Chain A
Amino acid sequence: MQPFIYILFFIAIVFLLLAFVAAMIGIQIYNSLILKKNQVSKSFSSVDVLLKKRWDLIPNLVAVVKNHMEFEQQTLAEITRLRSRAMSGDLSPEQRLNTENQITRTMGNIMALIENYPELKSNTHVTQLLESLNETEEQISAARRFYNTAVTNYNNAIEMFPSNIVAGYMKYAAKELFVTPAEERANVNVGELFN
Chain B
Amino acid sequence: MQARTQEFKATARRELGNALSQTFLSLLPPGFTALRQIGMSSFPDPDAAVEYARAIRAEAIARLPELLEQFERRAIELGATVIWTRTSHEANEIILDLARERGATYITKSKSMITEETGLNEHLREGGVEPFETDLGEFITQLLGRPPFHIVGPAINVAPEEIRDAFMAKAGLKESTTDPVRLGLAARLFLRDKFEHLKMGVVGVNMAVASTGTIINVENEGNIRMIKSSPPTVVALMSPEKVVPTMSDALHLLRILSRNCTGQKITSYVSFDSGPKRDREIDGPEELFIVIVDNGRSQIYQDPLTREALRCIRCGACLNTCPVYTKIGGYPYGFAYSGPMGQVLNPLLLGLVDTRDLYQACTLCDACREVCPAGIDHPSLLLSYRARAASDVHGQQTVHALLRRSLATLLAFAMTHPRLWDLGIKLARPLVNIAAQKGSINNLPGAQGWFACRDLPAMPEKTFRERWRQDHG
- A and B form one complex: no
